Homo-oligomer: A and B are copies of this chain.
Amino acid sequence: MLANHFQNGIETARLVWSRIPNSEESQLLDDAVGILKNNDGGGVESLDYEVVENFAYREEQAQRGKLYVSYLLVVKWFFALLIGICTGLAAVFINIAVENFAGWKFSVTFDIIQKSYIAGFVVYVLINLVLVYSSVYIITQFAPAAAGSGIPEIKGYLNGVDIHGILLFRTLIGKIFGSIGSVGGGLALGKEGPLVHTGACIASLLGQGGSTKYHLNSRWFQVFKSDRDRRDLVTCGCAAGVAAAFRAPVGGVLFALEEVTSWWRSQLMWRVFFTSAVVAVVVRAAMGWCKSGKCGHFGSGGFIIWDISDGQEDYSFAELLPMAIIGVIGGLLGSSMPCIHFNISHFIWPAFFCSKDKEYNDLATIFFNTQDDAIRNLFSAKTINEYSSQSLLTFLVMFYALAVITFGTAVPAGQFVPGIMIGSTYGRLVGMFVVKYYRKLNIEEGTYALLGAASFLGGSMRMTVSLCVIMVEISNNLKFLPLIMLVLLISKAVGDAFNEGIYEEQAQLRGIPLLESRPKYEMRNMTAKEACGSGRVVCFPRVVKVSDVVSILRSNKHNGFPVIDHTRSGEPLVIGLVLRSHLLVILQSKVDFQHSPLPSDPRGGGRSIRHDSGEFAKPVSSKGICIDDIHLSSDDLEMYIDLAPFLNPSPYIVPEDMSLTKVYNLFRQLGLRHLFVVPRPSRVLGLITRKDLLIEEKENVNTLELQSTSVRIQHQYKRLTRNIDVERPLLIGLLQNQTPD
């Protein structure tokens, strides 16, 4: 029976992999992979975490004022609540479905096997094949972006890389049903990574007010227009996913903080924490409801809680050595998994079938259980000598091989549960040695299994604090905290000696260009000017002919263009940055076209009222408008656009000979998308120090909100002209001069 199951695992894995070279679906799968691997900037787009302070934005801000900020805050908390509830429910749904499939599968097989062994085997394999095939079908046909664990993609998104399709509604659906199929079908993978992706999708969809394509959107929800706010929501979603997968709320917060996000603010921590707490409550309530038997085969085991709180009471210093060894093994095995996968996946198949005729009864208890139950058995205390070392070793080799093969496959696949399986197996092996060797101590093999699991995850994922908290939360035992810390330290250090963490490796394989938090060593010897190369910068004048805009947008793939104007005395002056996406919106709507090649009057009003900033917001995870989709008549092409209202008037700038290390820090820490390299300044108008930024809150801000629109515009205009006494003319000095009034 074991052999059957094992065979079945191999078969399903083969099924998944054999598609790539020769079957009909291979093209589709290639497409799916192709999108992810596209590194040339076409498929991968950067996000703008800087707030684009163009006129529309400023007007909206002035109009809405401080009350709006409070409103936004309330909405953000409400969204955190919604994300928590939805992710919790999604997790419960996946778990109930998987448990029910598994339960139904086993009961059917058991019924048939009593009549005919062969028929039972065939039915069992068929059911698994159908489940896995359905998962593969969903992914390849319907939601290619839902393949894999999704964590590298989400990590990329939070790092500022928008990969097409990862946060769509169809991806969410594909992820949920795909992971039910693949986990229910018994593949060597878990549902935790997919849950993180699920949480992120839910958060993103809520943030953009539902799916536009499927008409499931509501204008009421469309509050968050900037990439920055959406990023915060997605961070909440990630934490919610982990919290739901492991029922580890603190672990979820830390996972989001340590592993997934690239930017973090302490206000965000507070909201992420709330989301996780909501998930914990939802999952708890759902499990309480299921206890009454309303959820079919779903029992308490659906969630990964391996309570070993009644385990080993104490540990001696003599045990630290074997524990350190576990750490080393974890680092080695964990870090080698991706390498082995890609080096030997071509010729592993022939060598693999030789082991299929071995059969062990205790091995069957590992293989034939669902993975969650198997782990609970491995962690269990008071069960010394339950497993023979040979069977554990065999299982380790087999499962490691299976995990290596399934790794990076085309179905939604989590690395957590396989990691825990492998780790706890060799941990228990070491534990058995320790029991034999240090005879007199009160040693539980289950403790070593737990440490082994921690070490393997540490060696593959390189998380520290979050993994530590997750392990404590799922094992429900605080006593081993220092031991888990020790093992994690060692396994991470060993793993770091070889390669980067599994998510970074996967991100690299999929062509997701992550910006690390630390600049590269070489950057010390480079300047900003060297980094941006010698290519000519494509600039726009302030008032530009529509035909010129079209030809410039067609001629290159740049996403941002400096806008240059001239002062009264004819000197050039950089007045801001205009984004390709905004230009495309302007070209499509045509309302801003004008006949005159002169700047429009900024005091005339009505200018930016034609747009609200929502129109400029790009839907998450979509390609947005393309220049070729816009149809302009020859009359349109002869008209002009005044770009001034659509500019980001003051993008961040760096002098040309600033070292690239500093440029990198600026770019990375502020989450920028474009940075202007400018000549060294000729004068310093002022120095800003800490004391200049310590401004007391003023009381009279709310009055601003009560002013009428015309007064507001006047006010804004006044604000801009306040600097008129500065010798060099500014943007508005310019405007004043050139407007024909």
Q: List chain A positions with a Cβ less than 8 A from chain B.
A: 41, 46, 50-51, 53, 58, 61-62, 66, 69, 160-161, 249-250, 253-254, 257-258, 264-267, 269-270, 273-274, 276-277, 280-281, 284, 464-465, 468-469, 472-473, 476, 478, 481-482, 485-486, 489, 492, 513, 515, 517-518, 520-533, 535, 537, 539, 558-560, 562, 564, 571-575, 649-650, 652-670, 673-695, 697-698, 701, 719-720, 722-723, 726, 728, 730-731
If the complex has contacts A266-B517, A527-B723, are A522 and B698 also in contact, measured as CB distance less than 8 A?
Answer: yes
Q: Which B residues are in CB contact (< 8 Å) with A574?
A: 680-684
Could you tell me if B53 and A659 are in contact, using CB atoms closer than 8 angstroms? yes
Q: In the bound complex, what is the Cα–Cα distance between A685 and B532 (angstroms)? A: 9
CB contact between A693 and one of B66, B515, B659, B698 (< 8 Å): that residue: B515
Tell me the minimal C-beta distance from A500 to chain B in angstroms. 12
A703: min CB distance to chain B, Å = 12
Q: A284-B482, A486-B277, A662-B53 are in contact. Are A675 and B652 (CB under 8 A)?
A: no
A700: shortest Cβ distance to chain B, in Å? 10
CB closest chain-B residue, reference A473? B478
Cβ contact within 8 Å between A689 and B655: no
Q: Output the least CB separation between A227 and chain B (Å).
A: 13
Checking B265, B267, B281, B674 against A689 with a beta-carbon cut-off of 8 angstroms, the contacting residue is B674
Q: Given B469, B539, B683, B690, which contacts A161 in the complex, CB threshold below 8 Å?
A: B690
- Other than the known A58-B524, A277-B482, A527-B723, what 19 A-B pairs have Cβ atoms closer than 8 Å? A62-B525, A66-B521, A276-B485, A472-B478, A515-B693, A526-B695, A532-B692, A539-B684, A572-B683, A574-B682, A650-B655, A650-B662, A653-B654, A654-B688, A656-B685, A657-B731, A673-B689, A675-B688, A679-B682
Contact check, B673 vs A679: say whether CB atoms are below 8 A apart: no
How near does chain B come to A45, taking the closest CB pair, in angstroms? 10
In whole Å, how far is A63's beta carbon from the nearest beta carbon of chain B? 12
CB contact under 8 A between A655 and B653, given known A469-B469, A677-B687: yes
Q: Do A676 and B684 touch (CB < 8 A)? A: yes
Q: Is the CB of A560 within 8 A of B691?
A: no
In-complex Cβ contact of A667 among B532, B573, B658, B688 (8 A): B688
Q: Known: A654-B653, A726-B656. Contact between A677 and B684, CB under 8 A? A: yes
Contact between B481 and A249, CB atoms less than 8 A apart: yes
Question: Shortest CB–CB separation between residue A1 and chain B, in angstroms?
Answer: 37
A317 CB to closest chain B CB, in angstroms?
A: 8
Q: Are the CB atoms of A270 and B522 closer together than 8 Å? A: no
Contact A679 B690 (CB under 8 A): no
Residue among A472, A658, A676, A692 with max Cβ neighbours from chain B (10 Å): A692
Q: What are 20 contact pairs spanning A and B, CB under 8 A?
A: A53-B661, A66-B521, A69-B521, A249-B482, A253-B465, A258-B269, A267-B517, A528-B688, A531-B692, A532-B685, A532-B692, A537-B685, A564-B683, A572-B683, A573-B681, A652-B654, A663-B693, A673-B689, A678-B685, A679-B681
Q: Is the CB of B723 within 8 A of A529?
A: yes
Which of A492, A564, A678 has the most chain B CB atoms inside 10 A of its CB?
A: A678
A71 nearest CB across to chain B (Å): 14
Top 4 closest pairs, chain A to chain B, by CB: A532-B686, A678-B681, A650-B658, A677-B686
Q: Is the CB of B533 within 8 A of A692?
A: yes
Residues of B within 8 A of A472 (CB): 250, 478
| Residue of chain B at shortest CB distance from A268 | B517
The answer on a CB contact under 8 Å between B270 and A464 is: yes
A598 to B697, CA, bound (A): 49
Task: Chain B residues near A478: list those with CB within 8 A.
Answer: 472-473, 476, 478
Closest to A61 in B: B524
B728 touches A680 (CB 8 A): yes
Q: Are B688 and A273 in contact (CB under 8 A)?
A: no
Distance between Cα atoms of A679 and B689 in the complex (Å): 18
- In the bound assembly, the distance between CA atoms of A662 and B53 in angstroms comes to 9
Contact of A731 among B649, B664, B680 (CB under 8 A): B680
Q: Is the CB of B695 within 8 A of A485?
A: no
Contact status A697-B61, CB under 8 Å: no
Cα A649 to Cα B658 with chains together (Å): 8
Q: Which residues of B contact A650 (CB under 8 A)?
A: 654-655, 657-659, 662
| A12 CB, min distance to chain B CBs, angstroms | 36
Cα-based distance from A267 to B258 in the complex (angstroms): 10
Report which of B264, B539, B654, B701 forms a contact with A521, defined as CB distance below 8 A. Answer: B701
**A523 to chain B: closest residue by CB:** B695
Q: Which residues on the B side are within 8 Å of A160 (C-beta)?
A: 690
Min Cβ gap A353→B in Å is 40
Tell whether, in the assembled complex, residue A667 and residue B680 are in contact, meaning their CB atoms are under 8 Å apart: no
Across-interface contacts of A486 in B (CB, < 8 A): 277, 281
A654 to B654, CA, bound (A): 8
C-alpha spacing A688/B50, complex, angstroms: 14
The answer to whether A670 and B665 touch across the interface, beta carbons within 8 angstroms, is: yes
B-chain residues with CB within 8 Å of residue A523 when the two chains form the complex: 695
Distance in angstroms between the alpha carbons of A351 and B142 in the assembled complex = 75
A69 to B530, CA, bound (A): 24
Q: Which residue of B lies closest to A259 (CB)?
A: B266
Chain B residues contacting A528 (CB-CB under 8 Å) are 686, 688
Cross-chain contact B682 with A572 (CB below 8 angstroms): yes
User: Which residues from chain B contact A682 at a C-beta distance below 8 Å?
Assistant: 571-574, 679
Tell me the complex Cα distance, A726–B679, Å: 9
Chain B residues within 8 Å of A669, by CB: 669-670
**Cβ of B654 and Cβ of A250 under 8 Å apart?**
no
A250 touches B691 (CB 8 A): no
When the two chains form their complex, are residues B250 and A481 in contact, meaning their CB atoms are under 8 A apart?
Answer: yes
Are B684 and A678 within 8 A (Cβ)?
Answer: yes
By the criterion CB–CB under 8 Å, are A723 and B655 in contact?
no
Once the chains bind, are B652 and A701 in contact (CB under 8 Å)?
no
Q: Is the CB of B679 within 8 A of A663?
A: no
Q: Contacts of A270 on B, CB cut-off 8 Å?
A: 464, 492
> How far, in Å, is A371 (CB) from chain B's closest CB?
23
Residue numbers in B under 8 Å from A473 (CB-CB): 478, 481
Contact B688 A532 (CB under 8 A): yes
The residue from B276, B468, B664, B697 contacting A250, defined by CB atoms under 8 A apart: B468
How far, in whole Å, are A674 and B719 apart by their CA atoms in the complex?
Answer: 25
A677:B673 contact, CB within 8 angstroms: no
Q: What is the CA–CA distance of A719 and B659 in the complex, to the nearest angstrom? A: 11
Docked Cα-Cα span, A731 to B681, in Å, equals 11
CA separation between A66 and B525, bound complex, in Å?
12
Chain B residues with CB under 8 A of A681: 573-574, 653, 676, 678-679, 681
